[in-house]
């Protein structure tokens, strides 16, 4: 994404998140911009062609500074499951984007285990703030009257992510071959277990989101 921490007095992005909220301005970042850098182009090539482009390690560090200081409000995957055939096209014809939904939480939980984030920061970035910003009712918190949408994570589980683990229909991920500690092991939607230990546990279901 290439955001550098703004200088004091910047007219483009206030250093006070509260004042930006009053102006209706929010900022998000995708996991691939937090963990991938230009160094990864050598072996991933078009498979990490995204918009905005993957940048330098210095830019990645800058994004983490923005995230920790509160200048970034939410984590958004920008999920784009293009096929291998599409990604293997010549650079100018290959589509931009990577599959990101299924690996967002392992990446962030691994960061919690490494001391880079707290679990409460992950909850704020992925659950509470998105619901607040988009005014989604009964979502984002564990409270009486809210929908029972929950994720159970095993913070001690450590494993390598392989291509066999990819659930997205595109069948690939830029994170295959990488090891992460901290994995979701159960997902509950509206009080019903829909995912457990790597497998979908029931037919897809859901309700229209209320605002």
Q: Give the residue carrying structure tokens 């990577």.
A: 98
Q: Which position among 39, 40, 73, 78 bears the catalytic label?
A: 78
For residues 38 and 22, what is the distance between their CA atoms, to the nearest angstrom? 35
Of 4 and 64, which is predicted with more confidence? 64
Instruction: Indicate if the pLDDT at residue 206 is higher than 90.
Output: no
pLDDT tens digits for 161-196?
999 999 889 999 999 999 999 999 999 998 899 989
Q: Which residue has the tokens 């500074």?
A: 65
Place of tokens 């159960």: 186
Q: What is the pLDDT of residues 76-115, one digit of tens each?
A: 999 999 999 999 999 999 999 999 999 999 999 999 999 9
Instruction: Tell me which residue has tokens 């019903």.
Output: 192
Q: DSSP strand E in 116-209: where? A: 150-160, 179-189, 192-196, 199-200
CATH architecture of the domain formed by 17-200: Alpha-Beta Barrel (3.20)
Pairing mode, strands 28-29 and 74-75:
parallel
Give residue 147's Cα distance to chain centre.
22
What is the rounded distance in angstroms from the CA atom of residue 81 to the CA atom of residue 169?
A: 7
Give catalytic status of residue 164 as yes or no: no
Percent of the chain with pLDDT over 70: 88
């Amino acid at each position: 994404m290439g955001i550098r921490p703004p200088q004091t007095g910047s007219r483009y992005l206030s250093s006070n998140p509260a004042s930006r909220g009053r102006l209706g301005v929010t900022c998000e970042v995708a996991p691939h911009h937090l963990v991938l850098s230009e160094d990864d182009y050598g072996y991933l090539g078009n498979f990490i062609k995204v918009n905005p482009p993957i940048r330098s390690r210095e830019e990645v560090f800058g994004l983490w500074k923005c995230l920790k200081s509160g200048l970034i409000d939410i984590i958004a995957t920008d999920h784009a499951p293009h096929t291998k055939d599409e990604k293997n096209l010549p650079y100018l014809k290959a589509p931009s984007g990577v599959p990101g939904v299924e690996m967002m939480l392992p990446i962030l939980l691994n960061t919690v285990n490494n001391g880079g984030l707290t679990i409460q920061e992950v909850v704020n970035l992925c659950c509470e703030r998105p619901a607040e910003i988009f005014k989604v009712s009964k979502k984002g918190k564990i409270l009486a009257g809210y929908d029972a949408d929950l994720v159970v994570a095993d913070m001690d589980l450590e494993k390598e992510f392989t291509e066999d683990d990819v659930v997205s229909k595109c069948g690939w991920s830029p994170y295959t071959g990488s090891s992460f500690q901290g994995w979701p092991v159960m997902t509950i939607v509206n009080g019903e277990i829909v995912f457990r230990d790597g497998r979908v546990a029931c037919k897809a279901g859901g309700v229209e989101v209320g605002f």
